[in-house]
Amino acid sequence: MVYEDEKAVAILDKFPVSPGHTLVMPRAHYSDYLNAKEDEITYLALITKKLANRIMQKLGADGVRILTNVGASAGQVIFHLHIHIIPTWGSGYPDVYRDFIPRKEQPKEYYEKLVELLSSDK
């Protein structure tokens, strides 16, 4: 868990596309983005922006992809609304992630290190 409050949580993706790949989701259940209440979407957008900025700053990313999938044909696998924050680097991953293999469960230390780094906004 890299973020939590009374309305939302954010966790590291179990099978990350890139180092720091994070999922932001509401505590309330909605099957997807299109079925969520507007005030929930607004709140998630604010949390996503805050975390995306934190991830970029702390991981030295050049950019981020922010996305959500709606429906199986769009690639949705977990049918609980979640927004992906996927850090990107124009020149490749930083040296600290040189052994990173996308879409593979990472070693336990990967998750522990990133939770410690990303769970603080300092």
Plot region of 92 (φ>0 → left; ψ -120 to 50 → alpha; else → beta): left
Residue with structure tokens 């929930």?
Answer: 40
Q: For residue 16, give the amino acid letter.
A: P
State the CATH number of the domain containing residue 48: 3.30.428.10
How many domains does the chain fold into?
A: 1
Lowest mean pLDDT across 49-53, 105-109, 118-122 = 118-122
pTM above 0.85, yes or no: yes
Could you give the count of Cα atoms lying within 13 Å of 34 in the half-sphere of its Cβ? Answer: 5
Domain containing 112 equals 3-118
Confidence check: pLDDT of 96 > 70: no
Please identify every residue annotated as catalytic. Answer: 82
